Amino acid sequence: MTDWQPWAATLADKLAAESAIADDQWRAAFEGTPRHVFVPRYWELDEYNRPSRLVDGAISAHRPEWLEAAYTDRFLVTQWVADEDRRVVTSSASLPSLVARMLHILDVADGHRVLEIGTGTGYNAALLCHRVGAQKVVSVDIDAGLVADAAGRLNTVGYAPTVVAGDGALGVKGHGPYDRILSTCATRGVPPAWIDQLADGGRIVTPLTMGGALAVLTKSGPDEVSGHFDVEQAWFMAMRPATRAMPVGFLADQPQPVSDELAGLGVSSLEPKALADPDFRLWLLLHQPTLHFVEHFDNELAHAGLTVHDGADIATALRRADGPLHVRQSSPRRLWDTVEVAWRSWIDHHKPRRDRLGIAATTDDIQYAWLDHPARHQGGGGRAGVFRWPLLA
């Protein structure tokens, strides 16, 4: 296909108009990289966010739909596996506007050596090759099949970066130190190998498995990094070992309702709409990292309620008309009590946006999130006190 350039230029124009692309060099990269080569086929999702219909660029009847999707600002599912009765996504082409945002905050410069964690389709690696040169790009993915396909696509468009099949949590020794490390899979914390392989003053950009948090970290010492969360959300599949697929966060299993014999009944003064605030969700997950959320709607109320569950315990709060939230929660671990405690804490600290939060991490697995400062937070009355949450169990 030789007429893809107008499509790529249109996508770059859209990203620039929305301020996702912030400089001419990245604009040139998006204009000069044929995304369709890296997404030869994809699966449409059904109403339950499950992969359902294959759209294949090799089928002539599919080509108009496939080409338009390849150059639209949308994420595209490119691989999934069957896990019992579920279809679990294992690879996708990320939202181009999010790709552009992450590349912007990565803040690469000429001569920088970049390690990408999560090769996926190879599109992100191609953008990096366009910007810094293929000889400066190293990419790793746990899936050897994805690595082989991505390397072939990169070769098709004229790039030959170092592409490795391996555990991304271990980085890639022998090619560093890296000035920049970019992860396209979510992690619970910061793998120590990344810190060890990062050059002094280097930067890590990685999404976390909590609340769509996107960490922007700088190597502040020989064995430590620290930095803030970006103001934007970034949802990615979790990093996974080779033998187990990890579902996308929004495909979490639906919980079973609280049985009558286990239910603790009560009311809550919290507003369902307020509970949908993504920054509060992140704050809550720092208190209880294993929570999943299921929102409830009805024809009259935009937000009728919320269920929180962690696989073992569950709490559901529902509102009818203009009345209070009626809460049912299992015992003895009363999850809604945790929601209310986190809410009061969030209010007491002036509803902090996610960019007031950050991470400090060391190579010996001392890792925690913090509010306003890595070490200390000014409490009531001017008294200094530590306000932080552990990231690793």
**Same-domain status, 193 and 130:** yes
CATH of the domain at 334: 3.30.160
**Same-domain status, 219 and 75:** yes
* Residues 75-90 pLDDT 10s: 999 999 988 778 888 8
**Same-domain status, 286 and 172:** no
Q: Kindly state whether residue 166 falls inside one of the protein's structural domains.
A: yes
Say if residues 342 and 287 touch (Cβ distance below 8 Å): yes
Q: In this structure, which amino acid lies at residue 329? A: Q
331 is an active site residue = no
CA 15 to chain centre: 19
Q: Kindly state whether residue 256 falls inside one of the protein's structural domains.
A: no
- In the chain, what's the furthest Cα-to-Cα distance? 70
pLDDT at 217: 98
* Residues 136-147 pLDDT 10s: 999 999 999 999
Give the total number of structural domains in the chain: 2
71: left (phi over 0), alpha (psi -120 to 50) or beta: alpha
- The gap between the terminal CA atoms of the chain, to the nearest Å, is 50
Write the CB contacts of 7 (distance below 8 Å, at least 6 apart in sequence). 36, 67, 70, 71
Q: Kindly state whether residue 112 falls inside one of the protein's structural domains.
A: yes
Residue linked to tokens 């400062």: 373
Q: Kindly state whether residue 253 falls inside one of the protein's structural domains.
A: no
**Same-domain status, 74 and 168:** yes
Q: Indicate the average pLDDT of the chain.
A: 88
CATH of the domain at 90: 3.40.50.150
Domain span at residue 313? 261-348
* Residues 358-367 pLDDT 10s: 999 999 989 9
Q: Kindly state whether residue 382 falls inside one of the protein's structural domains.
A: no
Mean pLDDT (whole number) for 231-242: 85
Q: Kindly state whether residue 34 falls inside one of the protein's structural domains.
A: yes
Q: What angle do CA 300, 305, 308 make, to 5 degrees?
A: 160
pLDDT at 135: 98
Among 8-22, 210-224, 281-295, the range scoring the smallest mean pLDDT is 281-295
Whether 158 has a pLDDT exceeding 50, the answer reads: yes
Please state, in angstroms and rounded to a whole number, the distance separating the CA atoms of residues 226 and 28: 31
Say if residues 374 and 215 touch (Cβ distance below 8 Å): no
Whether 206 has a pLDDT exceeding 90, the answer reads: yes
pLDDT at 294: 85
| Active-site residue, selected from the candidate residues 19, 91, 92, 94 | 94
Give which of 79, 49, 104 is closest to 214, Cα–Cα: 104
Give the pLDDT band of residue 370 (cuts 50, 70, 90): very high
